[in-house]
Amino acid sequence: MTAPARTPIDIAEVVHMLSARADVLARELLPNGRLDGREWRCGSLDGEPGQSLAVHIGGTRPGVWCDFSTGESGDALDLVAAALFGNDKRAAFRWALGWLGIERLDPAALDRRRRQVAAQAAKLDKRDAEAAERKRRTALRFFLEAEAQIAGTAVDLYLKGRAIDLGLLGRQPRALRFHPSLTYKWRPAGGPKSADPDAGRSFPAMVAAIMGPDGQMISLHRTYLVQTGRGYSKAPVKEPKMTLGEFRGGLISLWRGASGKPLRDAPPDDTVVIAEGIENGLSVAVKRPDCRVLAAISLANLANVRLPPQLTNIVIAADNDPAADQVDALNRAAWRLEDEGRSVRIARAPADYKDMNDWLRGIRK
């Protein structure tokens, strides 16, 4: 009897099937990584613990990965090739056929597998979209619940404890508000809330609106606070700073500079300073109120931000962090902005200070 002819499988189909199982694939190829939101993170393609390499395992880009320390990136099949076969795509393709269990399927069985993968992908896409929308709505609700006037609140006292006096600016940042009580819900990736004894406690919080490129709020940044004497400091919990919702490409508009105009209407001669965190950004604002100041939330997100095309004078306020992956991520963000035709400078506090806020407070390393 003649065996049934095998249906040819092209690379795009294999990539699609691998992407549909990106969660399992990433854990198998990089077993020492850890879950960070919708990403599986580790130190490198060798799989050691760390943050430099990120594999998307959810959302609209499952299987897409980037090693921020080397600049390598690609799709799910590229990940197999880089992790197992020294970037040999042909060997990776053969391995993927076996891993997916489609190496010897007849046409009818392969067609069934294709339909299963398509149905699973559609189900996951719908689930992720619904979860993302729930988080966005919750983030917006928390922000609208918060008090717009922060003078005299825990947020004001917390910032003054960091030598940031918003009274010197004459007006407060619109993106910042005071929430009198937010429940702290941190948990380790895949773990129970009970892993953190503080989970379920409520704290006052500084909340900040994270805006997308279209000017709409996409997520929320929270800094949990606790009273210490007459002032406030970050709450003594595992993660006192957290985001709610997907913030890729988003920014916190901390200060509008001399023009006072929204980011989309900023005049071309604005100097734009982008800091990683809120406190460092506000430290710049109180010293240089003529500049427009933005916070990118994280160094990894700095390479994703999108600015109006008329803004060409950019300063990145960087921490004094010697870690190679941090330096590489910073450089890549600067190069991308330069590729867009912008002038980019990197500014740091003097070498004996960790960051801009420590410099403002006079706290040396």
Q: Estimate the crossing angle of helix 76-84 against helix 89-100, to 10 degrees.
A: 110
Q: Are residues 161 and 263 in the same domain?
A: yes
pLDDT at position 189: 43
88 pLDDT more than 90? yes
Distance CA 110, CA 34 (A): 33
**Residue 135 included in any domain:** no
For residue 342, give both structure tokens: 């912008």
Q: Are residues 98 and 150 in the same domain?
A: no
pLDDT at position 140: 96
Bridge pairing between strands 271-275 and 313-318: parallel
Distance CA 52, CA 45 (A): 10
Examine the fold and report which residue of 54, 88, 123 is the final residue of a domain before the chain moves on: 123
Q: Are residues 85 and 183 in the same domain?
A: no
Q: Where are the beta strands (DSSP E) in the chain?
A: 34-36, 39-42, 53-56, 65-67, 73-74, 176-183, 202-211, 217-228, 231-234, 241-244, 252-255, 271-275, 292-295, 313-318, 343-348
Section 302-317 average pLDDT: 94
Confidence band for 5, pLDDT divided at 50, 70 and 90: very low
Distance CA 326, CA 331 (A): 9
Q: Are residues 168 and 286 in the same domain?
A: yes
**Residue 4 included in any domain:** no
Q: Sheet holding 292-295: strands in order across? A: 252-255, 292-295, 271-275, 313-318, 343-348
pLDDT at position 192: 43
Domain limits for position 106: 11-123
Q: Are residues 91 and 195 in the same domain?
A: no
Q: Sheet holding 34-36: strands in order across? A: 34-36, 39-42, 53-56, 65-67, 73-74
Q: Are residues 20 and 164 in the same domain?
A: no
pLDDT at position 200: 85
Residue 242: phi and psi, rounded to 5, are -145, 155
Distance CA 160, CA 174 (A): 18
Confidence band for 263, pLDDT divided at 50, 70 and 90: very high
Confidence band for 365, pLDDT divided at 50, 70 and 90: confident
SS3 state at 293: strand
Cβ proximity of 232 and 158 under 8 Å: yes
Distance CA 278, CA 34 (A): 26
Q: Are residues 171 and 306 in the same domain?
A: yes
Q: Are residues 105 and 174 in the same domain?
A: no
pLDDT at position 273: 98
pLDDT at position 153: 97
**Residue 1 included in any domain:** no
Confidence band for 230, pLDDT divided at 50, 70 and 90: confident
**Residue 64 included in any domain:** yes
> Mind listing the pLDDT tens digit for each residue in 45-59?
988 888 788 899 876
Q: Are residues 223 and 304 in the same domain?
A: yes
Examine the fold and report which residue of 70, 89, 123 is the final residue of a domain before the chain moves on: 123
**Residue 3 included in any domain:** no
Confidence band for 342, pLDDT divided at 50, 70 and 90: very high
Mean pLDDT, the chain, rounded, equals 88
DSSP string for residues in 183-220: E-----TTS-GGGSTTTT-EEEEEEEEEE-TTS-EEEE
Distance CA 330, CA 89 (A): 30
Section 160-187 average pLDDT: 92
> Mind listing the pLDDT tens digit for each residue in 11-41?
888 898 899 889 999 999 999 898 877 789 8
Q: Are residues 231 and 308 in the same domain?
A: yes
Of 129-133, 292-296, 322-326, give the range with the top mean pLDDT.
292-296
| CA-to-CA dists, residue 306 to 71, 107, 214, 219, 309, angstroms | 20, 45, 10, 16, 9
3 pLDDT more than 50? no
Higher per-residue pLDDT: 187 or 86: 86
Q: Are residues 54 and 194 in the same domain?
A: no
**Residue 132 included in any domain:** no
**Residue 58 included in any domain:** yes
pLDDT at position 122: 75
Distance CA 246, CA 270 (A): 28
> Mind listing the pLDDT tens digit for each residue in 344-356?
999 999 999 999 9
Composition of the chain by helix, strand, coil, percent to 5: 35, 20, 40
Section 290-314 average pLDDT: 93
> Mind listing the pLDDT tens digit for each residue in 127-149?
777 888 899 999 999 999 999 99
Q: What is the CATH number of the domain that holds 92?
A: 3.90.580.10
Give the rounded percent of residues in the chain with a pLDDT score beyond 90.
58
> Mind listing the pLDDT tens digit for each residue in 206-229?
999 999 988 899 999 999 999 998
Domain count, the chain: 2
Confidence band for 121, pLDDT divided at 50, 70 and 90: low
**Residue 105 included in any domain:** yes
Distance CA 248, CA 56 (A): 12
Rg of the chain over all Cα atoms, to the nearest angstrom: 23
DSSP 295: E
Q: Are residues 95 and 160 in the same domain?
A: no
CA angle 173, 310, 294 (to 5 degrees): 25
84 pLDDT more than 50? yes
DSSP string for residues in 78-112: HHHHHHHSTT-HHHHHHHHHHHHT-TT--HHHHHH
Higher per-residue pLDDT: 176 or 193: 176
Task: Quickly count: other Cβ atoms within 10 Å of residue 53's Cβ.
Answer: 30
Section 79-96 average pLDDT: 94
